[in-house]
Amino acid sequence: MANPQLAVETKLLEATKIVEEQIDAEIEKLEKLDIDELESLRKQRLDALKKQETKKREWLEKGHGEYSELPEEKEFFEVCKKSENVVCHFYRESTFRCKIVDKHLAALARKHIETKFCKIDVEKSPFLTDRLRIRVLPTIVLCKNAITKDFIVGFDDLGGHDEFSTEMLEWRIARAEVIIYNGDLTTPPNSLNSAKKNKPVFGYRKKNIRDDDGGDDSDED
């Protein structure tokens, strides 16, 4: 009868041998490079770092790295012209769930300086709100190259409750490809409690634009 432990050890040795062979191949490749080739690789790396730093300065000059408020709707169009990636939160001051979104977006703005994070009051942007057909608050509009790519409406996509994590919102935004994300886009972060997922928390007040505040009032338009 075969020894299971011996089989496992054999597989580990085989895997280790493959890794060692790959490392040896990389070392051999580097050893074969002459001085000019090494200098070329170094220059390419330095050029890439310089371009990255230049891009970072450009982003910061455009207000990236902070979560800012747009005073009027024409500013939304200006932001979309200047920044390739835009995340804009359409909110109402009296809506509790909009304040939850504010907290998460402020954290993400500092982390993802490649993207412009902003918000705009629907009371100050009636034309834009109507044009984008925003009917539930909060709504997050995701834009790339001045084109609206996606919407995050209420908290349905975030687990359907108020206690979703910043990582969960980050993952959802990343699915629209408006931030640089290194995780697995096919699977959301394991940050949601299954009981909370199934908890019915949504409710709406009767308004032209509904506040998704999860209250007891369940009337809709």
Lowest mean pLDDT of 14-18, 67-71, 208-212, name the range: 208-212
**Per-domain residue ranges for the chain?**
60-211
C-alpha 42/C-alpha 27 separation (Å) is 17
Helices 96-111 and 166-174: angle between axes, nearest 10 degrees: 70
pTM: 0.70
Q: Does 3.90.420.10 match the CATH number of domain 60-211? A: no
Lowest mean pLDDT of 44-53, 88-97, 115-124, name the range: 44-53
Q: What is the pLDDT of residues 119-170, one digit of tens each?
A: 999 999 999 999 999 999 999 999 999 999 999 999 999 999 999 999 999 9
Asked if the model's pLDDT at residue 221 lies above 80, the reply is: no
Q: How many H-runs (helices) and E-runs (strands) does the chain carry? A: 7, 7
Find the angle CA(198)-CA(200)-CA(206) to the nearest 5 degrees: 155
Q: Are strands 147-153 and 85-91 parallel, antiparallel or unpaired?
A: unpaired
Asked if the model's pLDDT at residue 7 lies above 70, the reply is: no
Question: Which tokens in the block code for residue 1?
Answer: 């009868």
